[in-house]
Copies of this chain bind each other. A is one copy, B any other.
Amino acid sequence: MTFKLTVLGSGSGAPTPTRYNSAQVLNVHERFVLIDCGEGTQFQLRRNSINFNRIELILISHLHGDHFFGLAGLLNTMHLLGRTKDIIIAGHADLKNYIDTIFSISHFKPGYNITFRAIEPNQSGPLLSTDKYTVDVFPLKHRITSTGFKITETRAESKISKEFIFEHGPSVDEIKAIKKGADYVSKEGSIIPNNEILISPPPPRSFVYASDTSYFPNIVPHIKNVDLLYHEATFDRSKYINAREKYHSTAEEAAKIAKEAQVKQLLIGHFSARYNDNNTLLQEACSVFPNTIAAYDGLSIDIPIST
């Protein structure tokens, strides 16, 4: 039951030799959600051995080029690789113009169906759900409309204890009743309470993607207690003014959000091209929220099932 994030691009505006533009892929039980799609995302998917065909949903946070200029090429290559499976793309309504323009001027008609889901400015709440996960959105604060995403694993069903089944051999009808909450009356007439039979599933895992955004504590209620928060950290503390002016965050600010929201782990990224390494950024974030890691292209984080 995989719940694993892979960073495809950890850079910001201008890509660097070591950092592609923003893109991440979340593997939820071998079904993949791509979040943002900077130029070169298709190369990075390949480098990370991620099967294009497993991507069933693409979420685009906002329409700055470093977050979606790879979409045209990816959709094109998916077609060339013979894709027939439907795909959902969600983002600002203008993203549809881009896709339509690309398709129209390049005389391209993909061999698969695309459903476009427009995200309204300031939209907040559930966006969509599948049998494996749900996606919620919330507004970020950036120069242009920007959306945060929370992806939460669907809660698994409670299971009946193997020991109980082995000992009592319940019928199919009895199993159904137990799953609905009934206690069990044994052949000897003793009552076994439901909570001794049913094993609760582990809590669903969750991931939040918050980029691009300035420091914006309003997002805290939306990300409370998530297992992993990705929050942009374009600048270090000394570039506080740049962060303000450009509606980005410092590493310290990302950590403040993580701390306030009591998330389990923080991942920072979207680093300005000026940083050759991310030591300063990581140190600043860790001083506020110790369980922080810095993104790099190719990083995978496997979020384990809580016990």
Contact = CB atoms under 8 A, between A and B. Distances in A.
A146 B101 CA distance: 19
Interface in A34-72: 38-40, 42-43, 46-47, 63-66, 68-70, 72
A118 interface: no
A70 B64 CA distance: 15
- Between A14, A15, A69, A92, the greatest number of chain B beta carbons within 10 A of the residue's beta carbon is seen for A69
Contacts of A72: 39, 65, 69
Contacts of A13: 76-77, 80
A186 to B, nearest CB: 62
Q: A40, A64, A66, A108: which has the most chain B beta carbons within 10 Å?
A: A40
Contacts of A73: 15, 21, 38-39, 65-66, 69
Contacts of A95: 105
Copies in the complex: 2
Contact of A40 (B17, B40, B97): B40
Interface string A69-97: 11011001100110000000000101101
A102 interface: yes
A109 to B, nearest CB: 12
A216 interface: no
A105 B63 contact: yes
A156 interface: no
Contacts of A66: 73, 76
Interface string A7-23: 00000011101000100
A15 to B, nearest CB: 7
Contacts of A94: 104-105
Among A17, A64, A76, A144, the one with the most B-chain Cβ atoms within 10 Å of its Cβ is A76
A14 B80 contact: yes
Contacts of A97: 101, 104-105
Nearest first, the 10 A-B pairs at minimum CB distance are: A39-B73, A94-B105, A14-B80, A101-B101, A65-B76, A69-B73, A69-B72, A14-B77, A13-B80, A63-B106
16 contacts: A14-B76, A14-B81, A15-B73, A39-B42, A40-B43, A63-B105, A63-B106, A64-B107, A65-B102, A65-B106, A66-B76, A68-B106, A94-B104, A97-B105, A107-B143, A107-B144
Given A14-B76, A15-B77, 11 more contacts: A14-B81, A15-B73, A17-B43, A39-B42, A40-B40, A40-B43, A63-B105, A63-B107, A69-B102, A94-B105, A101-B101
Interface of A: 13-15, 17, 21, 38-40, 42-43, 46-47, 63-66, 68-70, 72-73, 76-77, 80-81, 92, 94-95, 97-98, 101-102, 104-108, 143-144
